[in-house]
Amino acid sequence: MSSLYPPRNLTGGRDAALDLIKWLALLTMLIDHLRHAWPELYFLYVPGRLAFPLFCLAIAANVARPTVGNAGGGVTARYLGWLLLFSLVSEWPYRLLVPTAESLNVMPTLVLGLLIANAVQRTDIQARWLGAGALATAVLAHQWLMFGVFGALLPAAFLLALRGSRGLWLLPMLGCLAANYWAPFYADAARGDPFAWSVLAMCLFTPLLGLLLLRRQPPFPVPPVRRWAYLFYPAHFLVLVALRSL
């Protein structure tokens, strides 16, 4: 099987396609969260369904591609450390914006997803044990994780799609639907509600869109998304809280 994401940037150069994915993820996340400050913008929930799968795709791409001194790819301690740190830092701002939230902020789901994808990518025993522990944690903490256990599995699904044949594109597409499963919403879709069908269509086709974008370098310059993006996550919660109070 030929890889859909051939190794590149072995010298540590920027991948413009991957940066574009990250920009789209950040933008659609911000768009989605505007409805928490202004509930009348509830329709932004539809484009907001792009954000989480694109973040998962970015994680999978980072795990898949080799870097200097790490020809097999996989997670680095620094990458994991940043996600862990901002998982903790972001919870309080998240609760300020969404005081009725029934789940943690999205970062713990991404941390578990990173470890599971890393276990799929690497063959060393430490990675496999960490991945198994992350999967067990995702199963046990399913009800407290944003997007649940299927959300934690989504980076690994993207990784398999990047490494395998085109038929494996179905894995992240179905995984995204499962991660966004909510029984009342599916009941609305069964009754033909156009809003519900719009959400389901966005969940189904966003992984395919992301995989296609990742395969093609954009014909325009893309500013790099660096570590400031970690700070953007809790900071944008605080900005929206401030704007809501005006």
The vertex-194 CA angle with 172 and 52, nearest 5°, equals 30
- Helices 51-64 + 170-179 axis angle, to 10: 140
Contact by Cβ (8 Å): 120, 152: no
How far apart are alpha carbons 195 and 218 in whole angstroms? 31
CA pseudo-torsion sign 100, 106, 108, 109: positive
pTM of the model: 0.92
What does residue 229 show for φ and ψ, rounded to 5 degrees?
-65, -30
Whole-number pLDDT of residue 177: 95
Which amino acid appears at position 93 of this protein? P
How far apart are alpha carbons 32 and 48 in whole angstroms? 4
Q: Could you report the per-residue pLDDT of 136-186, keeping only the tens digit for each?
A: 999 999 999 999 999 999 999 999 999 887 789 999 999 999 999 988 888
- pLDDT tops 60 at residue 5: no
How far apart are alpha carbons 73 and 78 in whole angstroms? 14
Contact by Cβ (8 Å): 25, 51: yes
How far apart are alpha carbons 25 and 53 in whole angstroms? 8
Per DSSP, the three-state class of 203 is helix
Whole-number pLDDT of residue 229: 96
Q: Could you report the per-residue pLDDT of 173-224, keeping only the tens digit for each?
A: 999 999 999 888 889 999 999 999 999 999 999 999 999 999 999 999 999 9
Give the helix ranges, DSSP H, for 90-193: 91-97, 107-121, 125-140, 148-163, 170-179, 183-190
Whole-number pLDDT of residue 9: 45
Q: Tell me the pLDDT band of 72, cut-offs 50, 70 and 90.
A: low
Whole-number pLDDT of residue 77: 86
- pLDDT tops 70 at residue 68: no
Whole-number pLDDT of residue 54: 98
Q: Which residue in 59, 100, 66 sits closest to 83, CA to CA?
A: 59
Whole-number pLDDT of residue 44: 97
- pLDDT tops 60 at residue 230: yes
Q: Could you report the per-residue pLDDT of 85-133, keeping only the tens digit for each?
A: 999 999 999 999 999 999 999 999 999 999 999 999 998 999 999 999 9
How far apart are alpha carbons 182 and 27 in whole angstroms? 24
Contact by Cβ (8 Å): 104, 91: yes
Tell me the pLDDT of the chain averaged across its residues.
91
How far apart are alpha carbons 206 and 47 in whole angstroms? 10
Q: How far is CA 152 from CA 26, 112, 148, 186, in A?
A: 19, 6, 7, 21
Q: How far is CA 65 from CA 4, 59, 169, 212, in A?
A: 12, 10, 18, 17
